[in-house]
């Protein structure tokens, strides 16, 4: 790498330290509502903690990882120094400033509104300013990714954009467009009310705007993981990427279909018409296509690795996979969690099935499996892989990596499978306590204990991550091997022009958003009766 | 041969992507806005266009033609945040003069020596709402209805400003531990009883919820029983009636003793 080493390192460190703090809160939350502890004496403390956990895990961690990883990819894939390093630092400090501002407000109990904001509840304006700063800082990253790609294309006319950079910029554009919904919600609806300029808020419209961000943000979190799947995993397990084009198709399809589908979060909201709910459900189903394409391509890439190692037969090659390689382990864990979480997701997105599990612990289980499981485990792996490049340390001990990945996988399964079960039985989410003395709830008490145990296993895994990264530089490498991305099975193939740029897909993303969101937004915005009195939190 | 550009229609990838997306959108809209509504009786009842509008989420007028029956309302007062504002000095002064009428029961400084509620430090919107409810008959009391009948809106807001200005009655300092009655601290989730402290101060203080620390015990007991039996019904969303409905006499006494206990 050239000049982004400290920059990338700073992003990863802040991300993981904030992550560890939020992990402590998460484990505490599970403990206090389990039968292991008495009821939390002040439920507001619980919601304060949930708000901080969600804000860090949903905004701070993935944004910083995507930014840091994006800067690293820019230098490693384009093989040239990052343009705009000073701007990148400015973006970083904006994110830090925003995080601290939001954290202080949350700690004071002035912002216990959960990270999804939930108007008409209102937090102190400083909480929203903090979140806005985080997002604005990330917009600088979006601009830099675009500028760097353009500069590279100018210098390399007609050449294929490296796949890692293609996915990286796709993720940046996706984030730019998807963060707009929450940005409009905060700037136009929430902040005027939070600052006391109005005392009513159009809560239905605010929820629709948030849904604009709420689902696609998941794919922004996912992008770094998919980039790792396509461009690092095949090389790390000793194989080839089965198809470079398939990767581009998957990134392009995510761009188009991840965005205009958020109303499936509002299936129980009366202010949105059933027709739009159905259309959004259909588009949500379309997201399974790039997901399946990816699973197919990566499994095929693993098969190449196995056959290169002498594996034979229709399924016999599975035995020849490099099972002692931490990457193989992490990939397997990630796919198992993606499989369970994805199957649960199909239920969430189905208009009718959703009724059964709407707002239950099932939902919490689902997004923890997908995001905190399948996605975040690859954030760890990306950090392990980049660490020697960033710090000049020797490659990180495979034993430590495997121990951490095992703990994370087991912890996540023990945490989330009981949630799925009790979600089906109807246990609501976001409860500060449950009355286990009631004979109807008593039989479910053990599941919450299980989840609390899972939470502590995850905490141990998080501690091991921090320990591993912090102590890595004790072992210096005599020479750091240059970083490589995975090579395609058929290198040098021609890349279709539409898949070498993002213009078409961004245009389709915007057009589809207008079709799917235009009318609901216009209609709700024009409804005078839709405004409700605000409920400031912690104001007295 | 040069490949057509990203937006070139002659590029088959572009063409099929765009056509595919358009086709998918149209088909899903046809299903969502025409087919599915057509098999639902209440969607299809008023014809095709009405069913499309309903599927799109256009607010409909359900009771068109038929006169909707007016449900009994608990209160005519709409709580607004502006009611909670501090009063100006002249309002407080005028309120203090008017409040001389109230001292017989509510005490010279708003601290009741009988079993009437304390008003010292009461939130202004609470006083406004209760006085207006007495005026309109939504809350009944032979004495208060007669005394409030002639009050103007300004009288009411000045009285509220005066009482809000007085220092609040306090009980012994409280910590959030097991010594608090369960209903005060965590409520009873399975009986749908919210904890007292989530509205009446402690965790949160909701607009329109009175300050009840230091209230005479008999007054709290009497009001909770009135909410329980439904003889008092001026809580806008029936929130107190729902809470009190499943409370036992012992629980009412327990909660009331907690809020009424005097600082040592």
> Measured between alpha carbons, how far is B212 from A533 in angstroms, rounded to an integer?
24
Mean pLDDT across the stretch A286-314? 95
Tell me whether residue A461 is in a domain.
Answer: no
State the Cα torsion A500-A502-A505-A509 to the nearest 10°. Answer: 160
Bridge partners (DSSP) listed for residue B207 = none
- B3/A contact by beta carbon, under 8 A: yes
Q: Which of A41, A498, A515 sits opposite B14 (nearest CB)?
A: A498
- B11/A contact by beta carbon, under 8 A: yes
Q: Is the pLDDT of residue A540 over 80?
A: no
Residues of A in contact with B25 (CB under 8 A): 279, 512, 515
Nearest CA-CA distance, residue B104 and chain A, Å: 30
Give Cα A490 distance to the centre of its chain: 31
- B22/A contact by beta carbon, under 8 A: no
> Measured between alpha carbons, how far is A341 from A374 in angstroms, rounded to an integer?
8
Q: Is the pLDDT of residue A9 over 50?
A: yes
- Site from A256, A273, A432 to mutate, B interface, most B CB atoms within 10 angstroms: A273
Residues of B in contact with A277 (CB under 8 A): 32
**What does each C-alpha distance from A125 to A94, A181, A234 come to in angstroms?**
17, 18, 46
Structural domain boundaries enclosing A177: 5-15+44-375+499-530
Tell me whether residue A450 is in a domain.
Answer: no
CB A236 within 8 A of CB A386: no
User: What residue in B sits closest to A503 (Cα-Cα)?
Assistant: B6
Q: How does strand A121-122 pair with strand A535-536? A: parallel
- Which tokens sit at B146? 């007669």
- Which tokens sit at A185? 């919600």
> Measured between alpha carbons, how far is B53 from B55 in angstroms, rounded to an integer?
5
- Site from B50, B62, B81, B174 to mutate, A interface, most A CB atoms within 10 angstroms: B81
CB A434 within 8 A of CB A441: yes
User: What residue in B sits closest to A518 (Cα-Cα)?
Assistant: B56
> Measured between alpha carbons, how far is A305 from B140 in angstroms, rounded to an integer?
83
Tell me whether residue A140 is in a domain.
Answer: yes
**What does each C-alpha distance from B182 to B187, B205, B209 come to in angstroms?**
6, 19, 20
Tell me whether residue A446 is in a domain.
Answer: no
Residues of B in contact with A503 (CB under 8 A): 6-7
Q: Which of B21, B82, B205 sits opposite A540 (nearest CB)?
A: B205
> Measured between alpha carbons, how far is A12 from A372 in angstroms, rounded to an integer?
16
> Measured between alpha carbons, how far is A539 from A531 in angstroms, rounded to an integer?
21
Residues of A in contact with B56 (CB under 8 A): 273, 275-276, 519, 523
- B189/A contact by beta carbon, under 8 A: yes
Residues of B in contact with A283 (CB under 8 A): 24, 28
Q: Is the pLDDT of residue A19 over 90?
A: yes
- Which tokens sit at A420? 């799925």
A220 in helix, strand or coil?
helix
Residue B11 and residue A275: Cβ atoms within 8 Å?
no
Instruction: Please state, for a pLDDT cut of 90, what percent of chain A lies above it.
Output: 86
B161, B134, B162, B137: which is closest to B148 by C-alpha? B134
Contact residues, B window 148-167, toward A, CB-based 8 Å cutoff = none
Tell me whether residue A432 is in a domain.
Answer: no
> Measured between alpha carbons, how far is A129 from A121 in angstroms, rounded to an integer?
16
Q: How does strand A200-202 pair with strand A531-533? A: antiparallel
Report the catalytic residues of A. 215, 219, 366-368, 429-430
pLDDT score at A234: 96
**What does each C-alpha distance from B71 to A146, B68, B74, B75, B77 come to in angstroms?**
59, 9, 9, 12, 16
Buried b / exposed e over A44-71, threshold 16 CB at 10 Å, is bbbbbbbbbbbbbbbbbbbbbbbbbbbb
- Which tokens sit at A538? 């912690």
Tell me whether residue A328 is in a domain.
Answer: yes
Looking up tokens 């990148």 gives A88
The CATH number assigned to the domain holding A114 equals: 1.20.210.10
- B57/A contact by beta carbon, under 8 A: yes
Contact residues, B window 193-232, toward A, CB-based 8 Å cutoff = 195, 198, 201, 203-207
Give the tens place of pLDDT for each residue, A430-489: 999 888 888 988 999 999 999 999 999 999 999 999 999 999 989 988 888 899 999 999
Size of interface A-B (CB pairs under 8 A): 121
Measured N-to-C along each axis, helices A274-286 and A326-349 cross at an angle, to the nearest 10 degrees, of: 160
pLDDT score at B204: 83
Residues of A in contact with B206 (CB under 8 A): 535
Residue B54 and residue A274: Cβ atoms within 8 Å?
yes
> Measured between alpha carbons, how far is A386 from A376 in angstroms, rounded to an integer?
15
- Which tokens sit at A74? 């820019």
Residue B93: left if φ>0, alpha if ψ -120 to 50, beta else—which one? alpha
Residues of B in contact with A441 (CB under 8 A): 190
Q: Is A402 exposed, middle or buried (0-12, 13-18, 19+ CB in 10 A)?
A: middle
Tell me whether residue A226 is in a domain.
Answer: yes
User: What residue in B sits closest to A196 (Cα-Cα)?
Assistant: B81
- Which tokens sit at A308? 């290169």
Span between the terminal Cα atoms of chain A, in Å: 53
pLDDT score at B174: 65
Span between the terminal Cα atoms of chain B, in Å: 95
A353, A349, A362: which is closest to A277 by C-alpha? A349
User: What residue in B sits closest to A44 (Cα-Cα)?
Assistant: B203
Tell me whether residue A485 is in a domain.
Answer: no
Residue A392 φ then ψ, to 5°: 75, 20
Total structural domains within chain A: 1
Instruction: Please state, for a pLDDT cut of 70, what percent of chain B lies above it.
Output: 90
Residues of A in contact with B37 (CB under 8 A): 274-275
> Measured between alpha carbons, how far is B238 from B229 in angstroms, rounded to an integer?
12
User: What residue in A sits closest to B203 (Cα-Cα)?
Assistant: A44
pLDDT tens sequence for chain B (264 residues): 455 666 778 888 999 999 999 999 999 999 999 999 988 888 888 888 989 998 998 887 655 666 666 677 889 998 888 898 889 999 999 999 999 999 999 998 899 888 999 999 999 999 999 999 999 999 999 999 999 999 999 999 999 999 999 998 777 666 666 778 889 988 988 888 999 988 998 888 889 999 998 899 999 999 999 999 999 999 988 999 999 999 999 999 999 999 988 665
A190, A183, A93, A193: which is closest to A140 by C-alpha? A93
Alpha helices in A392-538 (DSSP H): 398-424, 445-471, 503-525
Q: Which of B11, B58, B80 sits opposite A497 (nearest CB)?
A: B11
pLDDT score at B1: 40
A1, A9, A18, A19: which is closest to A377 by C-alpha? A19
User: What residue in B sits closest to A431 (Cα-Cα)?
Assistant: B189
Residues of B in contact with A44 (CB under 8 A): 203-204
B170 in helix, strand or coil?
coil
User: What residue in A sits closest to B183 (Cα-Cα)?
Assistant: A41
Residues of A in contact with B237 (CB under 8 A): none
- Which tokens sit at A94? 């904006």
Nearest CA-CA distance, residue B52 and chain A, Å: 8
Q: Which of B6, B24, B31 sits opposite A501 (nearest CB)?
A: B6
**What does each C-alpha distance from B38 to A183, A369, A413, B23, B56 come to in angstroms?**
38, 38, 43, 21, 14
Other CB atoms within a 10 A radius of the CB of residue A268 amount to: 11
Q: Is the previous residue joined to A120 through a cis bond, with omega within 30 degrees of 0? A: yes
pLDDT score at A158: 86
Q: Which of A275, A499, A508 sits opposite B56 (nearest CB)?
A: A275
CB B122 within 8 A of CB B159: no
Residue B29 and residue A279: Cβ atoms within 8 Å?
yes
A202 in helix, strand or coil?
strand
User: What residue in B sits closest to A536 (Cα-Cα)?
Assistant: B206
Q: What is the DSSP string of B122-138?
A: --HHHHHHHHHHHHHTS
Q: Which of B21, B28, B201 sits opposite A279 (nearest CB)?
A: B28
Q: What is the DSSP string of A134-157?
A: HHHHHHHHHHHHHHHHHHHHHHST
pLDDT score at B256: 95
Give the tens place of pLDDT for each residue, A195-205: 989 989 999 99
Question: What's this model's pTM, rounded to 2 decimal places?
Answer: 0.92
- B170/A contact by beta carbon, under 8 A: no
- B68/A contact by beta carbon, under 8 A: no
- Which tokens sit at A59? 């905004």
For Cα atoms A14, A16, A19, give the angle at the middle one, nearest 5 degrees: 110
Give the tens place of pLDDT for each residue, A341-380: 999 999 999 988 999 999 999 999 999 999 999 999 999 9
Residue A497 and residue B5: Cβ atoms within 8 Å?
yes
């Amino acid at each position: 790498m050239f000049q982004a080493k400290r920059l990338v390192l700073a992003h990863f460190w802040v991300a993981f330290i904030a992550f560890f703090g939020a992990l402590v809160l998460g484990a505490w939350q599970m403990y206090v509502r389990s039968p292991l502890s008495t009821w939390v004496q002040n439920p507001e403390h619980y919601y304060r903690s949930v708000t901080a956990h969600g804000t860090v895990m949903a905004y701070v961690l993935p944004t910083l990882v995507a930014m840091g990883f994006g800067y690293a990819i820019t230098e490693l894939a384009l093989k040239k120094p990052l343009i705009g390093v000073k701007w990148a630092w400015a973006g970083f400090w904006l994110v830090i400033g925003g995080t601290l501002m939001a954290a202080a407000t949350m700690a004071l109990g002035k912002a216990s509104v959960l990270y999804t904001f939930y108007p008409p509840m209102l937090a102190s304006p400083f909480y929203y300013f903090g979140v806005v700063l985080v997002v604005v800082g990330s917009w600088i990253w979006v601009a830099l990714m675009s500028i760097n790609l353009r500069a590279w294309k100018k210098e390399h006319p007609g050449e294929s954009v490296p796949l890692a950079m293609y996915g990286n910029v796709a993720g940046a554009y996706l984030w730019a467009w998807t963060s707009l919904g929450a940005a409009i919600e905060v700037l136009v609806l929430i902040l005027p009310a939070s600052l006391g300029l109005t005392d009513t808020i159009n809560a239905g419209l605010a929820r629709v705007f948030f849904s604009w961000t709420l689902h696609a943000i998941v794919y922004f979190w996912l992008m770094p993981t998919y980039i790792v799947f396509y461009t690092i995993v095949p090389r790390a397990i000793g194989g080839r990427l089965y198809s470079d084009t398939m990767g581009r198709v998957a990134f392009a399809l995510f761009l188009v279909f991840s965005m205009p589908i958020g109303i499936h979060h509002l299936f129980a909201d009366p202010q949105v018409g059933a027709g739009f709910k159905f259309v959004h459900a259909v588009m949500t189903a379309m997201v399974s296509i790039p997901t399946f394409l990816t699973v197919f391509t990566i499994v095929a890439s693993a098969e190449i690795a196995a056959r290169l190692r002498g594996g034979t037969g229709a399924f016999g090659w599975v035995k020849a996979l490099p099972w002692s390689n931490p990457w193989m382990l992490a990939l397997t864990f990630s796919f198992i969690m993606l499989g369970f979480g994805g199957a649960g997701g199909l239920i969430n997105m189905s208009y009718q099935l959703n009724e059964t599990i709407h707002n239950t612990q099932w939902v919490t289980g689902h997004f923890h499996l997908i995001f905190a499981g399948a996605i975040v485990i690859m954030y760890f792996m990306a950090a392990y892989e980049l660490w020697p490049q960033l710090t000049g340390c020797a490659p990180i001990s495979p034993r430590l990596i495997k121990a951490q990945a095992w703990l994370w996988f087991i912890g996540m399964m023990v945490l989330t499978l009981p949630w799925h079960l009790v979600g089906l039985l109807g246990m609501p989410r976001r409860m500060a306590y449950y009355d286990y003395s009631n004979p109807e709830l008593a039989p479910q008490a053990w599941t919450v204990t299980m989840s609390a145990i899972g939470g502590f296993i995850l905490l141990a895994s998080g501690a091991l991550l921090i320990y591993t990264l912090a102590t890595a530089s004790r072992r210096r490498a005599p020479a750091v091997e240059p970083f490589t991305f995975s090579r395609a099975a058929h290198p040098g193939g021609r890349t279709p022009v539409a898949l070498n740029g993002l213009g078409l897909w961004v245009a389709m993303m915007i057009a589809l958003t207008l079709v799917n969101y235009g009318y609901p937004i216009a209609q709700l915005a024009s409804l005078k009766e839709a405004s409700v009195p605000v409920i400031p939190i912690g104001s007295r | 041969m040069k490949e057509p550009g990203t937006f070139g229609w002659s590029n088959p990838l572009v063409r099929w992507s765009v056509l595919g997306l358009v086709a998918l959108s149209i088909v899903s809209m046809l299903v969502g806005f025409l087919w599915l509504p057509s098999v639902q009786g209440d969607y299809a009842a008023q014809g095709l266009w009405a069913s499309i509008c309903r599927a799109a989420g256009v607010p409909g007028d359900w009771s068109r033609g038929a006169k909707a029956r007016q449900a009994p309302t608990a209160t005519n007062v709409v709580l607004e945040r502006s009611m909670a504002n501090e009063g100006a000095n002249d309002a407080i002064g005028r309120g203090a003069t008017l409040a001389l009428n109230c001292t017989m029961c509510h005490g010279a400084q708003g601290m009741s020596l009988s079993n009437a509620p304390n008003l010292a430090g009461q939130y202004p919107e609470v006083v406004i709402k209760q006085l207006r409810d007495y005026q309109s008959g939504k809350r009944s009391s032979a004495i208060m209805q007669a005394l409030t009948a002639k009050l103007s809106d300004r009288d009411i807001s000045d009285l509220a400003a005066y009482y809000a200005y007085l220092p609040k009655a306090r009980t012994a300092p409280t910590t959030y531990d097991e010594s608090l009655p369960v209903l005060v601290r965590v409520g009873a989730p399975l009986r749908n009883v919210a904890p007292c402290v989530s509205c009446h101060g402690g965790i949160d203080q909701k607009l329109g919820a009175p300050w009840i620390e230091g209230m005479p015990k008999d007054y709290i007991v009497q009001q909770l029983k009135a909410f329980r039996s439904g003889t008092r019904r001026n809580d806008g969303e029936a929130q107190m009636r729902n809470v009190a409905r499943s409370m036992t006499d012992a629980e009412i006494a327990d909660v009331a003793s907690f809020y009424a206990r005097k600082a040592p």
